[in-house]
């Protein structure tokens, strides 16, 4: 349910941006003066009694904490229990449903992830639901706030059916968001009277989160007015820029690696630029441009890349080994292509890394290697004398064509 598709020139949220659980985002919001519901988080069934007592309410909304959308419509793989979000009428029901969620895998439309924690949230009666988001906009050269008088549903559907329902308000990054602008945004979203002022205060807090925490997106759906007069953030999705980790160490320490692709986690340990895809040819390349060209050629020859993997311009043998291991252990990969242009990176270092990895890990899949540039002769000699079934092909196009054929 991303707002990035609502306007041209916006940054889309990249897969490797830090993504926090809902309860983690709400905790950060509280620090910046944003009004959020009362909630508790548990990882073990035996902690439920205390969490329920801390909330002090009878009816509780129980939410599975996984990094995926569509939790409410998901199904648990192990026991067939329907729904990762439930409104529980009493404490006994909370315990029953939590027992069916914790430790089990929730299958959603996006993916299947294990539920290691659940959030207990106070149940409240919503009077009005709005939508609100902040992200960067190339068109205006800075942050843009996006809102709608209608929330709680797919914002893309709202934008498609009624484009005029979407409010866009750029913010001058040098001037920041003042109180008047925040109140104007709240009013345009349909908040009135005292609720407009309350909404404006939370909007100001959300803008501070976006800017001060190096966020790439803050999305609230719904941003709600309650029957008791409160205006609260009911559901949150927040992403943070990985490149700002050195400034935001506390936030990045909250990263839940159990919810991420294990291959991407392993690649990050070795400073490899890796993104998993759905194809059948594993790619190990240096340089983003060459990597994209390699992926394009594979598609032209009838194959699909299984990943984007840029080992960088100065990779060492241990990084080459790590990259090779990731590709070898991917069950979708039927063949591997290594395509290195040796500028700063030496072809003999790459070849040594490949041979070491193949011997230590076992060469289980067809491997095509194309090297060009610094020490290419030494690199090709290392490969040819390795005694391994490695196909060295100097021509770029022929190497891609051969890898595609081996994957069939």
Phi and psi angles of residue 336, each rounded to the nearest 5 degrees, phi first: -125, 140
Q: Is 270 a catalytic residue?
A: no
Catalytic one of 22, 129, 219, 225: 219
Look-up of token digits 């994209």: 292
Catalytic one of 97, 131, 270, 301: 131
Q: Is 219 a catalytic residue?
A: yes
Please, are residues 1 and 69 in contact by the beta-carbon 8 Å criterion? yes
Catalytic residue ranges: 131, 219
């Amino acid at each position: 349910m991303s707002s990035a598709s609502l306007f041209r020139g916006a940054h889309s949220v990249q897969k490797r941006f830090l993504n926090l659980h809902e309860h983690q985002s709400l905790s950060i919001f509280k620090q910046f003066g944003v009004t959020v519901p009362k909630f508790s988080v548990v990882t073990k069934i035996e902690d439920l009694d205390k969490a329920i007592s801390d909330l002090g309410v009878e009816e509780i909304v129980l939410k599975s904490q996984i990094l995926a959308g569509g939790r409410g419509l998901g199904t648990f793989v192990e026991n067939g229990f329907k729904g990762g979000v439930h409104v529980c009428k009493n404490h006994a029901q909370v315990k029953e449903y939590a027992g069916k969620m914790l430790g089990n895998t929730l299958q959603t439309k996006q993916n299947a992830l294990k539920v290691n924690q659940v959030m207990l949230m106070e149940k409240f009666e919503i009077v009005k639901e709005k939508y609100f988001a902040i992200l960067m906009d190339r068109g205006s050269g800075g942050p843009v706030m996006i809102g709608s008088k209608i929330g709680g549903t797919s914002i893309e559907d709202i934008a498609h059916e009624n484009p005029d329902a979407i409010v866009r308000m750029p913010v001058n990054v040098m001037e920041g968001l003042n109180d008047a602008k925040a109140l104007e945004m709240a009013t345009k979203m349909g908040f009135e009277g005292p609720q407009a002022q309350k909404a404006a205060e939370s909007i100001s807090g959300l803008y501070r989160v976006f800017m001060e925490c190096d966020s790439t997106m803050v999305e609230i759906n719904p941003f709600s007015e309650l029957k008791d007069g409160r205006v609260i953030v009911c559901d949150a999705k927040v992403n943070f820029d990985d490149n700002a980790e050195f400034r935001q160490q506390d936030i990045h320490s909250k990263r839940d690696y159990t919810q991420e692709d294990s291959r991407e986690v392993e690649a990050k340990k070795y400073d490899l630029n890796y993104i998993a895809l759905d194809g059948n040819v594993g790619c190990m390349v240096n340089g983003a441009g060459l990597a994209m060209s390699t992926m394009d050629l594979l598609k032209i020859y009838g194959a699909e890349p299984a990943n984007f993997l840029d080992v960088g311009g100065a990779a060492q043998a241990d990084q080459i080994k790590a990259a090779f291991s990731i590709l070898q252990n991917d069950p979708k990969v039927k063949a591997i292509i290594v395509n290195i242009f040796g500028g700063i990176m030496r072809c003999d270092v790459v070849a040594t890394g490949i041979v070491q990895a193949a011997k230590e890990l076992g060469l289980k899949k067809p491997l095509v290697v194309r090297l060009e540039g610094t020490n290419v002769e030494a690199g090709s000699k290392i490969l040819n004398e390795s005694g391994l079934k490695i196909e060295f092909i100097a021509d770029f196009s022929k190497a891609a064509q051969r890898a595609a054929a081996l994957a069939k």
